[in-house]
């Protein structure tokens, strides 16, 4: 199976490196020629918390250089999905599949607008991976990845199983899911709790468990998201606080993706996370005051960057 990974961020680099290590035919795709040249030279460096370091030279190219692929993994930030999706028709082979492994809601819809829903897969990963520098990442938390065909997709069970096996051969724990829409919401419930709080307080995920007031806000945001999901007809089992606690424990040392964005002065994924809960809550007549406030604070944090003191 020929695979392209779109986006050389933390997740994209990790996927390309692990697949390459496992002998898969994988290429990393970027849109910036200077970065492609640098990454070709230096390779991808994967550091582990145990002090291990791997340098992997996976093929890296601009979209048009990477031939038609059977599977294209979209690993860009949610705010880049629309732009990245425009490269998909040139990357996907006839009958090829596109798999989004991104945070938040709205990515599937943006991709489907360009290539249609028929060959789409959604994946949800609870991995802790931090981008240290260009092409240099820390693999901090080994979680599970779920993959499934969302509604409107015609990807067969056999094809899903083949993709799941590809991930497993790369050493990742991966499972097929028929209810991937619910899994996307389960991850959203976690992200709306962990990401904005860790970004505002500038702490790793595990520290939230030690800050009772921050923890209460994170749990309240997650509970609102779960209530909105249920009102939207998505059945989520279990207690959001317990799920949040588990992920904070499993990825304790990890800097959330939103904290990494804030520290690097990049836009954050707040619009695909807490803002989505607020918007969908409004449409269903449900108040979401905690998600509203966190959305505003993160928007303000981004706007305030040029005025920072100290």
Binding site residues, ligand PAF, CB under 6 A: 103, 126, 128, 190-191, 194-195, 205, 247, 251, 254, 256-257
Nearest approach in angstroms of CB 256 to ligand PAF is: 4
Catalytic residue among 57, 77, 187, 308: 187
Cα separation, 36 vs 61, in Å, equals 6
Residue 187 among the catalytic residues: yes
- Residue 126 CB, shortest distance to ligand PAF, in Å, is 5
In this complex, which beta carbon is closest to ligand PAF, that of residue 27 or of residue 80? 80
Q: 11 or 111, CB closer to ligand PAF?
A: 11
Shortest distance in whole angstroms from residue 64 CB to ligand PAF: 30
CB of 103 to ligand PAF, least distance (A): 5
**Which of 194, 294 has the CB closer to ligand PAF?**
194
Rounded to an integer, what distance in angstroms lies between the CA atom of residue 243 and that of residue 53?
31
Nearer to ligand PAF, 112 or 194 (CB): 194
Q: Would you please indicate which residues are annotated as catalytic (active-site) residues? A: 187
């Amino acid at each position: 199976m020929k695979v392209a990974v779109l986006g050389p961020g933390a997740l994209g680099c990790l996927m390309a490196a692990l697949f390459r290590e496992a002998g898969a035919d994988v290429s990393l795709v970027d849109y910036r020629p200077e970065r492609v040249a640098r990454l070709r030279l230096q390779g991808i460096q994967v550091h582990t918390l145990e002090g291990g370091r791997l340098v992997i030279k996976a093929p890296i190219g601009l979209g048009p250089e990477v031939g038609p692929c059977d599977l294209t993994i979209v690993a860009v930030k949610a705010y880049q999905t629309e732009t990245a999706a425009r490269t998909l028709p040139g990357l996907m082979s006839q009958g090829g599949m596109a798999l989004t492994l991104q945070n938040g809601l709205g990515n599937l819809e943006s991709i489907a607008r360009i290539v249609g829903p028929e060959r789409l897969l959604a994946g949800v990963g609870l991995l802790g991976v931090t981008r240290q520098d260009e092409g240099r990442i820390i693999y901090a938390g080994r979680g599970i990845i779920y993959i499934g065909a969302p509604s409107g997709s015609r990807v067969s069970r056999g094809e899903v199983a083949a993709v799941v096996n590809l991930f497993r051969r790369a050493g990742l724990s991966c499972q097929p899911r028929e209810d991937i829409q619910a899994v996307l919401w389960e991850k959203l419930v976690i992200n709306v709790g962990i990401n904005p709080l860790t970004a505002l307080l500038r702490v790793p995920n595990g520290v939230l468990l030690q800050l009772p007031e921050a923890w209460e806000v994170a749990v309240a945001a997650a509970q609102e998201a779960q209530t909105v999901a249920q009102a939207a007809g998505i059945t989520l089992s279990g207690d959001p606080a317990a799920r949040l606690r588990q992920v904070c424990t499993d990825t304790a040392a990890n800097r959330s993706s939103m904290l990494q964005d804030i520290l690097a002065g990049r836009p954050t994924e707040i619009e695909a996370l807490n803002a989505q809960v607020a918007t969908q809550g409004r449409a269903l007549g449900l108040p979401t005051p905690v998600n509203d406030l966190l959305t505003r604070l993160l928007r303000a944090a981004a706007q305030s960057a040029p005025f920072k003191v100290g």
